[in-house]
A = this chain, B = another copy of it.
Amino acid sequence: MNQLTIIKVGGKIVEDPESLKTLLNNFALIAGNKILIHGGGRSATDIGEKLGIETKMIDGRRITDRETLKVITMVYAGLINKNIVAQLQAMRLDAVGLTGADMNLILSSQRPVESIDYGYVGDIKDVNVPVLAELLEQDYIPVLAPITHNGKGQLLNTNADTIAAEVAKALAYTFNVRLVYCFEKRGVLLNENDENSIIKELDRELFERYKQKGIIKSGMIPKLENAFRAIAAGVKEIIITCAEDMNSGKGTFISNK
């Protein structure tokens, strides 16, 4: 099976021109097929604010009303996605920027209202493996914005970590998939103030223990839940690290023990 590297990068990295440049330089060095999945929440919050649209977050998830959906569609699928594509093209990497609506790539359903109404937020139902595999075979580099659709004309805001995990899982039957979650830190840390306290390997048991102790908390919990689901579903390697260490083999490796 061919190698496929899926890189997920958070908003902070893609929104700063300097860190974006570092990221794309490292991304260019990856051999074989690759996919880039990006966030962009900070810009969305910033531009939303300027447009007088208040950002509401619950547990790190954005409440997406109709106006907020417009903002994230502009920022994720437009501003951030197309700038990344143009810069990859400048490096002679044949990128194509897509949402889940394009080519019907990722179908989702609007999250049902239980205790919280998240609004236009999508839970992934299906990843279009043949179409993604065909793009990769043709040596395109898909750059995915964290927006999906319900197949009935509605765009839906969808967590980029989850998209990365679901795309990795879906392609694990066709490729040897390596999934790298890039964020600001050099890995999952035992002590959030010590960049050298990286947890080298994390299995479910250790994760549960650290979670109970409060060492692993907030946004890292759903990220790791995604990672454990993906490794259990056949993704070959999952690393949580910073953009600089993307190709260095440093960071926190997710174990399927």
Contact = CB atoms under 8 A, between A and B. Distances in A.
B86 A149 contact: yes
A137 interface: no
16 contacts: A50-B50, A50-B51, A73-B78, A73-B82, A73-B83, A77-B82, A82-B99, A82-B147, A82-B155, A85-B101, A89-B149, A89-B153, A90-B153, A94-B104, A95-B103, A96-B103
A68 to B, nearest CB: 13
A222 interface: no
Copies of chain A in the complex: 2
A134 to B, nearest CB: 8
A64 interface: no
A97 B87 CA distance: 18
A183 interface: no
Contacts of A79: 70, 73-74, 78
B50 A155 contact: no
A112 interface: no
Contacts of A75: 74, 78
Interface of A: 47, 50-52, 70, 73-79, 81-83, 85-87, 89-90, 94-99, 101-104, 134, 138, 140, 147, 149, 151-155
A94 to B, nearest CB: 6
A152 B102 contact: no
Contacts of A147: 82
Secondary structure call for the A interface: helix
B102 A85 contact: yes
B96 A154 contact: no
Contacts of A149: 86, 89
A81 B78 CA distance: 9
A55 to B, nearest CB: 16
Given A74-B74, A82-B99, 13 more contacts: A47-B74, A50-B51, A73-B78, A76-B78, A82-B101, A85-B101, A85-B102, A86-B101, A86-B154, A86-B155, A89-B104, A96-B102, A97-B99
Contacts of A76: 78
B86 A97 contact: no
A51 B53 CA distance: 12
A184 to B, nearest CB: 24
A83 B155 contact: yes
A7 to B, nearest CB: 18
